[in-house]
């Protein structure tokens, strides 16, 4: 798949998932709270600052920056997918945030002036961008000289069974192909070395790399499947297109694989994010 095909596929996947992400936005935010808090502390927004959030989805880390920059500052919440931008707009209104601007924007082609923002947040976005190097170069361009970038990506499959168990199942059952090395994807930036290489190549100095642990909690298998059908594009497609027998086989596969993570009748699936501060 070339870069343009990857862009079209990514756009279509997230456009399809947008309604599910709106329904589950609060649960997603609770799960990712440790990552959001790390990013906000790292960027340290001050009153009057302009903070850009890339790949914001239904709105997240940027919303936490809004009270810190105050009415004299602003948060620019962006996403490639218009449906996600509209969800973020609705959620910001519900939260009473009046200093958040919502824009459809491609992280590879940031439509802002050079040296125009004080901080950039990107939570689980760069790893999915077809040309991550271009996106980071654009980020460096729009950041002021003393600006900060705080980002999060996922560590490797073994540290993130919440997604890797299902991903391996979908590969084994023929729903998706095994990811090509170096291709955009959830684990594309899992190593310190690769992330540092890309950041430094874009002109950043890497100030900090840290792991942040999260926990995905599900009331049971039905809860997991219900959320995954609405927020996990490939799984949702596979489930919709499967026969009753195939669905039962997938449920049995997940039941067995999740057994080590069962706690008092619920599942607590661990995850580890790699967070970076660069300037």
Question: How much is the pLDDT for 118?
Answer: 98
- Name the pLDDT band for 2 (thresholds 50, 70, 90): low
Question: How much is the pLDDT for 15?
Answer: 84
Q: What average pLDDT does this structure show over 139-158?
A: 98
Question: How much is the pLDDT for 145?
Answer: 95
Q: Mean pLDDT for the chain?
A: 94
Residues, the chain, total?
279
Question: How much is the pLDDT for 1?
Answer: 58
Q: Are 133 and 104 in contact (CB under 8 A)?
A: no
> At the fourth CATH level, which superfamily is domain 3-156+180-216+272-278?
Vaccinia Virus protein VP39 (3.40.50.150)
pLDDT at 11 over 80: no
- Name the pLDDT band for 179 (thresholds 50, 70, 90): confident
Share of the chain above pLDDT 70, in %: 99
- Name the pLDDT band for 182 (thresholds 50, 70, 90): confident
- Name the pLDDT band for 183 (thresholds 50, 70, 90): confident
Q: What average pLDDT does this structure show over 139-145?
A: 98
Q: What average pLDDT does this structure show over 82-92?
A: 96
Pairing relation of β-strands 117-123 and 50-54?
Answer: parallel
SS (H, E, C) the chain: CCHHHHHHHHHHHHHHHHHHHHHCHHHHHHHCHHHHHHHHHHHCCCCCCEEEEECCCCCCHHHHHHHHHCCCCEEEEEECCHHHHHHHHHHHHHCCCCCEEEEECECCECCCCCCCEEEEEEECCHHHCCCHHHHHHHHHHHEEEEEEEEEEEECCHHHCHHHHHHHHHHHHCCCCCCCCCCCCCCCCCCCHHHHHHHHHHCCCCEEEEEEEEEEEEECCHHHHHHHHHHHCHHHHHHHHHCCHHHHHHHHHHHHHHHHHHEECCEEEEEEEEEEEEEC
Q: Which two tokens stand for residue 63?
A: 């919303």
Question: How much is the pLDDT for 17?
Answer: 86
Q: Are 179 and 157 in contact (CB under 8 A)?
A: no
**More confident position, 255 or 60:** 255
Question: How much is the pLDDT for 260?
Answer: 97
Q: How far apart are CA 124 and CA 79, in angstroms?
A: 12
- Name the pLDDT band for 82 (thresholds 50, 70, 90): very high
Contacts of 61 (CB under 8 A, 6+ apart): 35, 36, 39, 40, 53, 121, 123
pTM, full prediction: 0.94
- Name the pLDDT band for 10 (thresholds 50, 70, 90): confident
Q: Which two tokens stand for residue 62?
A: 């940027």
pLDDT at 6 over 80: no
Q: What average pLDDT does this structure show over 68-94?
A: 97
CA dihedral 52→54→59→63, nearest 10 degrees, is -20
Q: What average pLDDT does this structure show over 208-221?
A: 97
């Amino acid at each position: 798949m070339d870069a343009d095909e990857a862009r079209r596929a990514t756009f279509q996947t997230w456009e399809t998932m947008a309604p599910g992400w709106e329904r589950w936005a609060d649960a997603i935010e609770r799960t990712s709270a440790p990552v959001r808090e790390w990013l906000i502390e790292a960027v340290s927004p001050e009153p009057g600052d302009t903070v850009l959030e890339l790949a914001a989805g239904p709105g997240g880390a940027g919303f936490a920056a809004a009270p810190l920059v105050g009415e004299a500052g602003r948060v620019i919440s962006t996403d490639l997918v218009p449906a996600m931008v509209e969800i973020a707009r609705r959620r910001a209104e519900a939260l009473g945030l009046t200093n958040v601007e919502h824009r459809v924007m491609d992280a590879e082609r940031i439509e802002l002036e050079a040296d125009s923002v004080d901080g950039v947040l990107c939570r689980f976005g760069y790893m999915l961008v077809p040309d991550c190097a271009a996106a980071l170069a654009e980020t460096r361009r729009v950041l002021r000289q003393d600006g900060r970038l705080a980002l999060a990506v996922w560590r490797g499959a073994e540290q993130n069974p919440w997604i890797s168990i299902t991903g391996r199942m979908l590969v084994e059952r023929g729903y998706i192909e095994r990811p090509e090395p170096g291709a955009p994807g959830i684990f594309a930036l899992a190593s310190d070395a690769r992330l540092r290489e890309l950041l430094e190549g874009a002109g950043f100095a890497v100030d900090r790399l840290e792991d942040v642990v999260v926990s995905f909690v599900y009331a049971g298998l039905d809860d997991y499947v219900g959320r995954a059908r609405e927020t996990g594009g490939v799984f949702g497609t596979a489930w919709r297109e499967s026969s009753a027998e195939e669905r039962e086989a997938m449920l049995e596969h997940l039941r067995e694989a999740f057994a080590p993570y069962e706690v008092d009748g619920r599942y607590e699936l661990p995850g580890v994010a790699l967070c970076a501060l660069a300037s």
